[in-house]
Amino acid sequence: MHFKTVAIIGRYQDSGLDAPLRRIAGMLTEAGRSVLIEHDTAHNTGITEFPVASYEDIARQADLAIVMGGDGTMLSAARVLAGSGIPMVGINHGRLGFITDIPVHNATDALKHVLLGNFNFEDRFLLEGRVVRNGETLFSGVALNDVVLNRAGRGGMIEVRVEYDDQFMYSQRADGLIISTPTGSTAYALSASGPIVHPALNAILLVPVAPQTLSNRPIVLPDTGTLSLTISTLSRVESGASVHFDMQTWSDCQAGDRIEVRRAQHAVRLVHPVGYSFFSTLRRKLHWNRMPQPSDEIE
């Protein structure tokens, strides 16, 4: 039997999420699986008829985690569960959803195929990083999508010295810099004109946000090295700068602080039903091959 114990994690802030979660839980029970409901999901949706589990319980007991929500819900769950090696499958109850790739209206049928063994695994690596000041680590975190250094508030641009494995790359004046995994290439990096990188590639993206010099372009680097971003003492950082590890934020960066980022030791294992295609997801989400509509014309 594939996946004897299945945990369900939901974006409990969504209204009406209890109904599709109950349908999935009921289907799993009928299929002979044990069901765990993540604690906050159960508390906020009122789904208490199944055993309630913390993330620690899920890491110890579950064979599969079903995550329903948007990509943000998957990012949060992935950071916590990556070290456990538990496979995760994403049900899209949000808007775009590149990681949560199964539409909610197809969830039950897709999961039935997964339980029958009609699935493939895909590993996505994470980034790990830290903020260092005078040799002391002030903050550390992991990210499945990206690590972002940006200016705080409405202050001037920040100036950053960028090194890769202690080799000087350039000094950059910009609103910020994005260090992204291939998974994150369809997130913030994409909106900053970064390239889409296939998730099977072992690479790290470095994408400037509104650089002062237009010749500063995104660059794709090997995932074997360490990127170091040092906020220059010449920067106009009176308003400060922030570092974001996905949705975790350190907002007290100062001139001289160094942000070190490398590939993390652990990876996230995603489960896709047979027939999943990364290119199909891109076509659907980015409207590739969509024929122009009369409403698209600009008067």
Residue 185 near residue 99, CB atoms below 8 Å: no
| Residue 60 neighbours by CB under 8 Å, 6+ apart | 84
> Checking DSSP bridges between strand 88-92 and strand 102-103, what pairing results, if any?
parallel
Annotated catalytic residue 146 = no
Residue 207 near residue 180, CB atoms below 8 Å: yes
Which two tokens mark 6? 């299945």
Start-to-end C-alpha separation, the chain: 59
User: Which candidate in 71, 101, 246, 257 is catalytic?
Assistant: 71
> Using alpha carbons only, what angle is made at residue 140 by residues 84 and 40, rounded to the nearest 5 degrees?
50
Which two tokens mark 132? 């260092």
**Catalytically annotated residues:** 71
